[in-house]
Amino acid sequence: MAYRKRRTKRISRCNKAYFEDEIGARLTLAMIHRKDGSRREKLETRAYNCPNCGGYHLTSEPERTHAA
C-alpha cells in the first residue's frame, strides 16, 4: 500500500472544525453531547473522514451509504 504523506500545511479547506484523526473527532463529539446535548438544535452525531482535507469533521447529517 502506498504511504500517505501528511501535508505539512494544516489548513482545512472546509469551514469546519478539523480533526487529525477519528479518535479526536469522536472524543469531541462525546463532549459536545455531554455539554450541549439539550441546548443545541442541531447536534453533530458522527465523525466522518473528509476527502477534501483528509481530516475528520463532525456532521449532523445521517451517513450516506450506497446501500439501497
Residues that bind Zn ion (CB under 5 A): 14, 50, 52-53
Smallest distance from Zn ion to CB 60, Å: 16
Q: Quick count: other Cβ atoms within 10 Å of Cβ 45?
A: 14
Place of cell 504511504: 3
For the CB of residue 38, give the shortest distance to Zn ion in the complex, in Å: 28
Specify the amino acid at residue 59. T
Residue 49 Cβ, how far from Zn ion at the closest point, in Å?
Answer: 9
Which of residues 17 and 43 has its CB atom nearest to Zn ion in the complex?
17
- Paired with 59 in beta bridges are 46
Query: Which CB, 35 or 49, lies closer to Zn ion?
Result: 49
Q: Give the position of cell 469533521.
A: 57
